[in-house]
Structure 1
Amino acid sequence: MAYDESKVINGTHGYLWLDGDLIQEVQSVKATITPKTETVSQSGEMVDGTKVTGLECKGELKTNKINSRWIKLMSDSLKAGKQRSFTIISKLADPSNGGTERVKLTGCVFTELPLIDWELKKLAEESLNFNFKNWEVLDSIE
């Protein structure tokens, strides 16, 4: 199959839902899984092996600030010492590509709450880091 540059996916056609609500102010989202590993040495071998012992699931969500959404979603539970979790669904579907990729993240817990972050003559943005417990690929691009 020949490489077709028109099939490179453009993030302009990305969408994000948080607990079923479309977050149209989203600017970027990233979720990564990093294997936790332990070194395994073996007699007679100069190079150590690696054993996966767990997974670290983290993400980052960036939005334009258009309201106090995040403060309203998290302030009360944080003050009460309660952990609130969310479900995130990301959809990426570029019309030039013809495919759709959807990924569902569950057990999402935001690890920080931006209360104040602005600067004169700059558009206000919010950046939220989160951890997640599980993921499911709902649709993939072939």
Structure 2
Amino acid sequence: MSFDSVRAVVGTFGFIYKEGKWLSQYNKAKASVDIGKAEIKPAGDRWVRHKVISLKGTGSISGYKVTDELLQEVGVVAHSDKPSMRTELIFKLDDPEAFGAERIRLQNVMFDKIDLANWEHSKEIEEEWPFTFEGYELLDPIEES
């Protein structure tokens, strides 16, 4: 099959959900898994082999500052006796011209940083929330029909 540019997925149709609630002000999402490997050097073989020993999920969401809802939620937890708030995020791409919608669920999301102030005169305020996560699930893959 030849490449059909109409089917290329565009981020314009990306959505971020936290605990089922659409975070409409956030327009950028990133998540990746770093694969930690150990080098195994067997006797009598010149090839260095590799064994997966760890997985580390990191990412961020960013967009426009509209409310302090996330700041209040993460900030309150940071000041409590149990500062390890865990939540889930679902990233959805639903380009109407693509082969379908993709949904990825990130598990045990923990935010890394709380920005209390980050603004400049005459500029819209954008905020970024970096996080780690411990597991993911591909809920809906994009597949050619």
Match for residue 49 of structure 1? 49
Match for residue 64 of structure 1? 64
Give the partner amino acid of 2:42.
Q
Does the residue aligned with 2:76 lie in a helix, a strand or coil? Answer: helix
The CA distance in 2 between the partners of 1:121 and 1:39, in whole Å, is 52
Give the partner amino acid of 1:87.
E
1:99 aligns with 2:63: no
**TM-score, length-normalised on structure 2?**
0.92
**TM-score, length-normalised on structure 1?**
0.94
1:2 aligns with 2:2: yes
Match for residue 116 of structure 1? 117
User: Is the contact made by 2:85 and 2:110 (CA closer than 8 Å) also made in structure 1?
Assistant: yes
Match for residue 76 of structure 1? 76
The CA distance in 1 between the partners of 2:101 and 2:89, in whole Å, is 16
Structure 1 residue 67: Cα displacement: 1.3
Give the partner amino acid of 1:116.
A
Match for residue 27 of structure 1? 27
User: Is the contact made by 1:87 and 1:107 (CA closer than 8 Å) also made in structure 2?
Assistant: yes
The CA distance in 2 between the partners of 1:27 and 1:118, in whole Å, is 18
Give the partner amino acid of 2:25.
E
Give the partner amino acid of 2:114.
L
Does the residue aligned with 2:37 lie in a helix, a strand or coil? Answer: strand
Structure 1 residue 119: Cα displacement: 1.3
The CA distance in 2 between the partners of 1:11 and 1:114, in whole Å, is 25
Show CA shifts across 1:11-33 (max 9, x none): 11111110111100111111101
The CA distance in 1 between the partners of 2:71 and 2:24, in whole Å, is 17
Unmatched runs of 5 consecutive residues or more in structure 1: none
User: Is the contact made by 2:15 and 2:27 (CA closer than 8 Å) also made in structure 1?
Assistant: no
Structure 1 residue 46: Cα displacement: 3.1
Superposition RMSD in Å: 1.2
Unmatched runs of 5 consecutive residues or more in structure 2: none
The CA distance in 2 between the partners of 1:113 and 1:63, in whole Å, is 15
Does the residue aligned with 1:57 lie in a helix, a strand or coil? Answer: strand
